[in-house]
Homo-oligomer: A and B are copies of this chain.
Amino acid sequence: MDLDTAVGYVLKRATVALRAAMDAALREHDLTVPQYSCLEQLAHQPGLTNTELARGTFVSRQAMHQLLATLKSLNLVHGDDGGRHERFTLTTDGARRLTGASTAVAAVQERMLAPFDPEQRRRLHADLTTCAEALDRR
């Protein structure tokens, strides 16, 4: 009934609040949230392609395309330029910028999760994953 729609509502509310907090934290590092997300992915999985990064950042290929163009012009990422299917990696500048930004983001998320103990955090993580998978099915 009303609770059903309310779950979608608070999901949106939490996401907006997290987005705003991350934006504020990353502004001091001159990074946007999608840019940070892209760098973070490349740190964990070097050699990803444009499309793979787009999937992980939840944006379109086209958006990631010009996002990568910006990051390349800033010397934060580097493409191996193997013709098509170019694979990207962090530059040393990119890795340095990421470390600062990553701790700032970690602080934001620690603030979000402060009311929860480790077990509750694991449960919340699992529940949200379950929600996403239930929607992606079919």
Once the chains are docked, how many angstroms separate the CA of A130 from the CA of B114?
Answer: 10
How many residues of A are counted as interface, with CB atoms below 8 angstroms from the partner's CB atoms?
47
Question: What sequence of 0s and 1s flags, for each residue 27-40 of chain A, a beta carbon within 8 Å of any chain B beta carbon?
Answer: 00000000000001
A71 at the interface (CB under 8 A from B): no
- Cβ-closest chain B residue relative to A136: B17
Task: Please state the number of chain copies in the assembly.
Answer: 2
Return A123 CB to nearest CB of chain B, in Å: 8
- Cβ-closest chain B residue relative to A7: B125
Residues facing B in A38-89 (CB within 8 A) are 40, 58
Whether B134 contacts A114 by the Cβ 8 Å rule is yes
* Contact among B17, B124, B135 with A7 in the assembled complex (CB-CB below 8 Å): B124
Residues of B within 8 A of A111 (CB): 134-135
Check A129/B10 contact, CB under 8 A, given A111-B134, A135-B18. Answer: yes
* Contact among B6, B120, B132 with A10 in the assembled complex (CB-CB below 8 Å): B132
Whether B106 contacts A131 by the Cβ 8 Å rule is no
Whether A18 contacts B11 by the Cβ 8 Å rule is yes
Once the chains are docked, how many angstroms separate the CA of A9 from the CA of B119?
Answer: 18
Whether A134 contacts B106 by the Cβ 8 Å rule is no
Whether A128 contacts B14 by the Cβ 8 Å rule is yes
Residues of B within 8 A of A17 (CB): 131-132, 135-136
Whether A113 contacts B4 by the Cβ 8 Å rule is yes
